[in-house]
Structures are given as structure tokens and as C-alpha cells.
A and B are shown apart, each in its own frame.
Chain A
Amino acid sequence: MMSCKQATELMSQEQDRQLTFFERINLRIHVLICDACNNYRQQMSVLRDACKRFGSGGTP
């Protein structure tokens, strides 16, 4: 079982590269049972959306 610390590394890297099959499975199991990391994953996608908006001049 991977630690939360390792899970956060993968959740960052999945934004930059294709994870391997085992990394994906491990991560999926981890976020299924870990609320904090599940939230972290949501935050990573909010962060990406925010950057997209900011980087394209779409802010109010």
C-alpha cells in the first residue's frame, strides 16, 4: 500500500505524464480509501482549471 506522500507525487505526475498501469491501479485503490488524498486529487484538477483560466486571460 502506498503512502499518502507517494500518492501525492503520483497525483502531480499524472498531470505531466501517462502513469504506468500499476501506478494507476495503486493510486485508484489509495484514493478509494483515503478521503484526504481524494480531496487532494480534486484540488489538483481545480488548480489546473484555475491555471488554464488565468493563463488565457479569462479572469474577471
Chain B
Amino acid sequence: MELDRQKELNALRPDLLRFAHLQLRDSGAAEDAVQETMLAALVGNHRFENRSSYKTWLISILRNKIIDIIRSQSREVTASSLSDDETGDDLVDSLFDQRGHWQETARPGRWADPENSFEQQQFWQVFEACLDHLPERTARIFMMREFLGLDTDEICKEASISTSNCWVVLHRARMSLRTCLETKWFAGEEA
């Protein structure tokens, strides 16, 4: 039983590491978060109840470790300003004409059967690749919001940016991700 758990834990390690790395973008920090998670999982194994999958349980521990790391980092590091990459409107501008209407080639299509996509491993590979494509701070802010479930007030504080800047960054992240998913996945699905 105990041995099975350890095996399962080891098998899930690469998934945990990828998850941590996507958000922390730092191999050392990601490794720390995963090691602490594995330790906590081994020590607190008895607290795992089979109500959810083992992976879900581990990810919930890992999420808290990542939040801790982000909080401690934002205290240590003085606020760096957003790069041009993250405040510039290049992507958004390229999708609209001067009057703010969608360019003909950029008009969003209907995404067919997302639930079916969610069941496919390839979809998640594309999803990760699209996340990886975001500028570093944009990605962190987006993932704090969507994966770690922090509200924008807290994100502003951790990232030392204004609320309106936070909304702009989140908007750009979503625009970029949906554009990436549409071209790399859903456009092909429909065909």
C-alpha cells in the first residue's frame, strides 16, 4: 500500500514539475515546490481520502506551495516594471481594424465540443504550449488568477501593479491564449 503510493507519487512527479514550472518559470523554485509537495504528501498520506484522484490531491498541495513561493518572492524582489512585451498592444491591435472591428481573418469562430477536447491528451499539450508562449509576467499573473484562484486585488499587490494594469494584462493573456488555441487546435477540429 505504502509502496504503491510512493510509486504513484514518483510517476506523477513530472506532471507536478511541469505544472510548477509553468507558473514559477524557474527550475530551482519549481523543484523546491515539488519536493515540498512530495514530502507533505508522504507525511500526510493518511489524510488523503479517495474522494478525489491522487493527482488532484497532490496538485492542491502544490498550488498552496506555489502561492507561498510567490508571496515570499514578491516580498524579496522589489517591483520590476512590466516589459513592453506585456503592456504593448501589438497582438490586440493586429486583430482589429482602426475602428475597433475584427479583421476579417481574425474573427473568432465557434469552438465545437470543447468537452471532447478536454478528454484528449493532445489538447492539453497544445494548451501548455500556448501558456508557455505567454510573456513571463503575463503568464504568472494569468495563472495566479486562473490556476491559483487569487482575486485581482491580491494579484495587484503581489505583482505591484495597478488594478487597471492587471485587467489589461489578463485581457491580453486571454486574447493571446484563445488566439493560440483557435489556430493550433480548434480550427483543425472543425475541418
Interface, chain A (partner B; CB < 8 A): 3-6, 8-9, 12-13, 15-17, 35-37, 39-40, 42-44, 46-60
Contact = CB atoms under 8 A, between A and B. Distances in A.
Q: Is the interface of A mostly helix, strand, loop or mixed?
A: helix
Contacts of B58: 57
Contacts of A54: 124, 127, 147
6 contacts: A3-B100, A15-B170, A35-B107, A39-B108, A42-B111, A54-B124
Contact of B59 (A4, A12, A55): A55
From A3, A51, A53, A57, residue with most partner B Cβ within 10 Å: A57
A12 B167 contact: yes
B148 interface: yes
Contacts of A40: 108, 178
* Residue among A12, A13, A37, A42 having the largest count of chain B Cβ atoms under 10 Å: A12
Contact of A50 (B15, B114, B121, B151): B114
A5 B171 contact: no
